[in-house]
Amino acid sequence: MENLLKRTINDLVTENHVRASVLYYFGVKFYDYKTETLAEVCSNHGLKAASVIKALELINDDKETTQRQLQSLPVELMVEYLKHAHYLFVKKRIPYIAQLIDGVTEVDFRYKTLSADLKSIFPLFVQDFIEHIYEEEDTFFSYVSQLSRFLKDDVPSSEVFYLMEKNSVREFALDHEVHDNEMEGFRKFTNNYTYCDEADLHIKVLYSELERLEKDLILHAKIENEILFPKALQLERLVKLKFHDLSKSN
């Protein structure tokens, strides 16, 4: 603990770029305090050093939810898990990257044009991304939730029958494939997130975060494609069987 407190912010972030995001969530933009020690930053911001260090150490603790664990969840909990992931993307990850881009000022001449382009392109990506996930929640997630509720007799059969006339899991799946890798353009734009050794620390952190975001979005899409959609298809089949049984009993 003492060793971390004595080190400068620049040193800590250079060693592990993800630490910049941890500091950001504590209200510290690393590029404004590069020469200060962690102890000085904690003192000046009224932060508990132990809490900050614990958060910094957690990023090395790989306890992410595995796909096998998600596979065991019922479909309604899968939907809630994915909604929470959407919330984290929209409220934490994307705003953090946006402020990194906005904070780019003095950079190596090789990155001046690129950083200026990112400032104009990233907001467009954010707008499209937010529209996509909200549409997904309002249509597909809502559809799946209604099917699940119907099997528990929580929704009138007429309401679900009308929904199924207008929607199908297969149609949602086909539409989802179009949005599978929304960040492919950024990867090409930044030459696979590679930078030269002389690049500013700010650029290194920014590229690392863009790459992390793309990997997490790809994993998110994979979870939807390989776990949620099959579960939703099975759910849809069960609903159709229930309608069949209801029709025979009438």
Closest C-alpha among 239, 231, 235, 229 to residue 173: 229
The reported pLDDT for the residue numbered 176 is 76
| Single pTM value for the model | 0.85
What is the C-alpha R_g of the chain?
Answer: 23
Give how far the C-alpha of residue 245 lies from the chain's centroid of Cα atoms, to the nearest Å.
Answer: 41
Question: Going residue by residue through the chain (250 aa), what tens digit of pLDDT does each one get?
Answer: 568 899 999 999 999 999 999 999 999 999 999 999 999 999 999 999 999 998 888 776 544 556 777 888 889 889 999 999 999 999 999 999 999 999 887 766 777 788 888 889 999 999 999 999 999 999 999 999 999 999 988 778 888 889 999 999 999 988 877 665 678 888 888 889 998 888 889 999 999 999 999 999 998 998 999 999 999 999 999 999 988 887 776 6
Strand ranges in the chain using DSSP code E only, listed in sequence order? none
Beta-carbon count within 10 A of 249 CB: 6
Where do the domains of the chain lie? 2-58, 67-249
The reported pLDDT for the residue numbered 178 is 62
Q: In this structure, are residues 17 and 205 in contact, taking their beta carbons and an 8 Å threshold?
A: yes
Q: Phi then psi for 152, rounded to 5 degrees? A: -95, 10
Alpha-carbon distance 148 to 106, whole Å? 54
Residue 174 burial by CB count (10 A; 0-12/13-18/19+): exposed, middle or buried? exposed
The reported pLDDT for the residue numbered 114 is 82
